[in-house]
Amino acid sequence: MSGQSSYLKQFSKSKSGVAGLVLLVILLVLSVYVLLAYPPNIASTWNNPKSWQSNPAKAPPSWIGYLGQDVPSTISFPSVQWTNSAPQGGSTYNYSNSYSFKWSSSKTPSNIVFTPQFKGTLLEAVVTWTKPDGQSLVIYIGSPQPNNIYDVTDQSIVQWIHQFIQSQTGSLQATVTTPDELSALFDRDGPNLLSNPVLHGTYHVRYDLVSQSPVSVSQATSLKVIGTSYGIMGTDLYGRPIQLGVLLGLPYALELGAVTSVVAVLFGIFFGGISGFIGGRRDGVMQWFTLVFLALPALPFLIALSYSITLDLLTEALLIAALSWPFYAIIARSVALSVKSQTYVEADRAMGISSLRTFLTHFMPRLTPVSIAYTVLGIPAGILLAQTLAFLGIAPPNIVTWGGILDEAFVQQAALFGWWWWVFFPGMMIVVVAVPFVLVGFALDRIVAPKVTAK
């Protein structure tokens, strides 16, 4: 059959179809990347607020800084070489390291996080904070626990900052908040410390670790200056990066959409095609059967079912397919009817050719391209339904879904508080994923449709 290659040629002429195909490949590559790059249990990390403690909460995306808003982004220093010196006087081992960062915003960051990671026992650790004008203060003296997270809300750091505030301003109010403590670290020194402007320039943070025995300090010992903006898509109320959630939701969405659509379209096209082909009383019965399933309201029915069945991805996809095939059966039946009225079908019958052969030679070649087009168009419909279910709180466990992220945004009243990034990006992903499929599907449909209806 030369039909298939001519379809391909026609498809390559459709600009929007090709654009859709390119987008599709990009999405597929991205989801393969997600599956390879993140462990399978990433959803439990995602759902654990503790994992995101060191991220700024409800931070807008960093790029809005370019639109004129002063939102310092997060600066992170994960790995720096530690210098160690041999025991001096035969008593102690000293390790030290200094982090430097440039600060050009006139706002303070939202937090500073230290994560000391080492093996062994420390005698003492000292952290010294030096401002661009050379003034320095000690912000920590003590023996930290390895792998603990220390930040500016931590009492062991707060007490040193409070001491510094008192030494500068001469008094310490009872209500010193975290922003005040950060101001103390970033503002120019003086009696008006907390209302002075933020100093621009290079800050230095020096760690000095002292131990009686050799300690292995991990490269992962880090310092994080938490800004008030984060990444491409910002963070939610718990500091989870929306961009990560959006990425993690991608493979699930595509997988579910594809399975749903293939199953529903294959069944629907066969059912409707045969129904239109055989006609008569049996066609009536099959149409009635289609109606029975069409009348099941997909969303409420799936919600009710979720109380009887534990959903996993495959069950969910098959259930959605079981509720969406009638749409394709109706379309396939009308295609079959239009083929049936053609003269070559009557010629077949007149020549006594078996009806199975007629079905395979005349109906299937016309139903196949239609089914390909509708499979492609059906994928976003499946994705949409699954995300809507997730928004209502029904999704397979241990899977990150865009609908679920949006449900949380809804519950936390993100729209009211103006956290638009939390609402916009996950929802936009549903559209971003749907559009290439619809573009390809429409291009296919346009190629296929005239051949079917042509008289």
Partner 1 sequence: MTYRRFVITKTISYAVALVATVSILYVGIYPSLQHVITNQATVQTQQFIQSLAKNAHGSLTQAEIQREGAAYKANFLSAFGFSQPLPVKFALQLYHLFTFQFGTSYFTLAPNGSNLVSSVIAAYLPNTILLFTTGTILVVLAGSVIGLLAARYAGGKLDRSIPFIAVFHSSLPTWWVGFLFIAYFAYSVNLFPSGGIISVPPPSGVIPQFGDFLYHLTLPLAAFFVVNVGGFAYVIRSLVVSTMSEDFVLTARARGIAENRILFSHVLRTVSPSIATQAVLAVAGSLGGAITVEVVFRWPGVGLLTYDSILANDLPIIIATTFVLTIVLLVGLYIGELLYGVLDPRIKSG
Q: Name the site residues for partner 1 (rule: CB under 8 A).
A: 16, 288, 291-301, 303-305, 307-308, 327, 330, 380, 384-385, 387-388, 391-394, 406, 409-410, 414-416, 418, 420, 423-424, 427, 430-431, 434-435, 438-439, 442, 449, 453
User: Residues 214, 218, 223, 226: what is their CA dihedral angle, to the nearest 10 degrees?
Assistant: -150
Our CA angle for 207, 208, 209, nearest 5°, is 115
Nearer to partner 1, 235 or 306 (CB): 306
Q: How far apart are CB 304 and partner 1 at their closest, in Å?
A: 4
Nearer to partner 1, 36 or 416 (CB): 416
Provide the token pair at 434.
């749907």
Nearer to partner 1, 325 or 359 (CB): 325
Distance, in Å, from the CA atom of 404 to the CA atom of 367, rounded to the nearest integer, reads 37
Phi, psi (rounded to 5 degrees) for 235: -130, 165
Q: How far apart are CB 260 and partner 1 at their closest, in Å?
A: 14
Q: What residue has token string 């499929």?
A: 437
Nearer to partner 1, 270 or 442 (CB): 442
- What DSSP designation does 300 have? H
Distance, in Å, from the CA atom of 350 to the CA atom of 368, rounded to the nearest integer, reads 25
**Count of CA atoms in the C-beta half-sphere (13 A) of 287:** 13
Q: How far apart are CB 394 and partner 1 at their closest, in Å?
A: 7
Q: How far apart are CB 34 and partner 1 at their closest, in Å?
A: 21
Q: Which residues of 21-41 are buried (b: 16+ CB within 10 A; e: fewer)?
A: bebbeebeeebeebeeebeee
Q: How far apart are CB 383 and partner 1 at their closest, in Å?
A: 9
Nearer to partner 1, 22 or 304 (CB): 304
Q: How far apart are CB 389 and partner 1 at their closest, in Å?
A: 9
Q: How far apart are CB 432 and partner 1 at their closest, in Å?
A: 9
Q: Is 195 exposed, middle or buried (0-12, 13-18, 19+ CB in 10 A)?
A: exposed
Nearer to partner 1, 31 or 97 (CB): 31
- Residue 44: alpha-carbon gap to chain centroid: 14
Nearer to partner 1, 43 or 439 (CB): 439
